[in-house]
């Protein structure tokens, strides 16, 4: 049972790194980015291509993947989402167009990677990093799992502090509550949107690299699978809440690990959809969400 807890914590940490940026961008600048899964996978793919020519360690690969994710996400914001926001007749129309646009944009990196990999799994084959397994009390934890847990803990705490105690964080929270009033008070929404999308993409890229190290390889479709799980986590925890994202990620991970352990895995994918349905029926705003239209 203790091994199940460790496995669930590592899995939940990867889910958290993936969905945290997505939750922040949705809860503050009101962008639900369905290209997030493509960014996650494409960042790891670019890093894998670099590693195939230059031998690199875990830290360098994670940095490359995070930078690629941040750049791609910021580019999508500048080239697609901000023009949509400027031209949309109202906020509701903008949200729908961003949602549809994100789905369309997300298919581009998937198609690119499918073409170059022939839909085969890819990984960091020439990386100098070697996974070691630590055993204690009959339980096993790999060095990669330890890195995943550390990154999730440090980054979640840092982002929570940033949102609560810095001027940029307070400005983002103000945008999430009332964007029009925030702009009248001098908040630069466009610059903060670019910053938020960059952070979101960077977290996705980091999660992509860590998941690739943890599993050994991923496929072009791996990000699409995680999108549904991320959506379940965000709805469960509350849109824009870092604490809610952390709790939601762990609840989903523990549920999946238990289902996999006792049913053989056939019901694992149904867990996410079941959680979404249950939360929407019982507490639509999520565990830590608030009952405002725009929640932080």
pLDDT at 124 over 50: yes
123 vs 187: CA distance, rounded Å: 42
Stretch (H or E) spanning 141: strand 139-142
176 vs 205: CA distance, rounded Å: 24
DSSP class of residue 89 equals S
286 vs 30: CA distance, rounded Å: 17
Contact criterion met (CB below 8 Å) for 84 and 213: no
Average pLDDT estimate for 204-216 = 94
Label residue 142 exposed, middle or buried (CB < 10 Å: 0-12, 13-18, 19+).
Answer: middle
Average pLDDT estimate for 199-212 = 95
Answer left, alpha or beta for residue 286, where phi above 0 means left and psi between -120 and 50 means alpha: left
- Residue in this structure with the two tokens 């400027």, named with its chain if needed: 86
Q: Assign 208 a pLDDT band (cuts: 50, 70, 90).
A: very high
What pLDDT score does 274 carry?
Answer: 78
**Range with the lowest mean pLDDT among 48-52, 216-220, 265-269?**
265-269
**CA–CA distance from 131 to each of 11, 58, 162 (Å)?**
17, 10, 32
- Which residues, listed in sequence order, are joined to residue 122 by a DSSP beta bridge? 218
pLDDT digits (tens, 9 = 90+) for 17-62: 999 989 888 888 888 899 999 999 999 999 999 999 999 999 999 9
Counting other chains too, the contacts that 244-247 makes at CB distance below 8 Å and 24 or more residues apart are: 244/23, 244/286, 244/287, 244/288, 244/289, 245/16, 245/19, 245/20, 245/23, 245/156, 246/16, 246/152, 246/156, 247/287, 247/288
**What percentage of the chain has pLDDT greater than the value 90?**
46
Q: What is the mean pLDDT of the chain?
A: 86
pLDDT at 295 over 50: no
296 vs 294: CA distance, rounded Å: 7
What pLDDT score does 296 carry?
Answer: 40
152 vs 293: CA distance, rounded Å: 28
Average pLDDT estimate for 224-230 = 86
pLDDT at 116 over 80: yes
227 vs 140: CA distance, rounded Å: 29
User: Is residue 288 helix, strand or coil?
Assistant: coil
pLDDT digits (tens, 9 = 90+) for 141-186: 889 999 999 999 999 999 999 988 888 888 887 877 767 777 777 7
């Amino acid at each position: 049972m203790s091994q199940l807890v460790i496995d669930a914590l590592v899995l939940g940490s990867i889910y958290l790194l993936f969905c945290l940026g997505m939750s922040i961008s949705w809860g503050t600048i009101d962008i639900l980015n369905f290209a997030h899964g493509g960014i996650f996978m494409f960042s790891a793919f670019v890093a894998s291509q670099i590693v195939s020519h230059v031998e690199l360690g875990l830290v360098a690969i994670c940095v490359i993947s995070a930078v690629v994710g941040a750049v791609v996400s910021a580019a999508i914001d500048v080239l697609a989402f901000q023009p949509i926001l400027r031209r949309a007749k109202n906020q509701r129309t903008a949200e729908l167009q961003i949602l549809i646009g994100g789905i369309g944009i997300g298919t581009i990196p998937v198609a690119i990677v499918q073409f170059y990999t022939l839909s085969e799994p890819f990984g960091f084959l020439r990386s100098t990093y070697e996974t070691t397994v630590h055993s204690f009390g009959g339980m096993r934890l790999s060095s990669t799992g330890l890195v995943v847990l550390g990154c999730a803990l440090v980054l979640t705490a840092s982002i929570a502090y940033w949102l609560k105690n810095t001027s940029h964080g307070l400005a983002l929270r103000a945008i999430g509550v009332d964007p029009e009033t925030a702009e009248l008070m001098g908040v630069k929404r466009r610059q903060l949107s670019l910053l938020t999308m960059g952070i979101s993409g960077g977290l996705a890229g980091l999660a992509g690299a860590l998941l690739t190290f943890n599993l050994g390889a991923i496929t072009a479709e791996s990000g699409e699978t995680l999108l549904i799980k991320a959506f379940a986590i965000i709805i469960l925890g509350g849109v824009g809440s870092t604490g809610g994202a952390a709790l939601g990620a762990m609840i989903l991970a523990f549920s999946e690990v238990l289902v996999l352990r006792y049913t053989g895995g056939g019901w694992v994918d149904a867990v996410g959809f079941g959680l979404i349905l249950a939360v929407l029926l019982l507490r639509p705003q999520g565990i830590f969400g608030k009952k405002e239209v725009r929640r932080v």
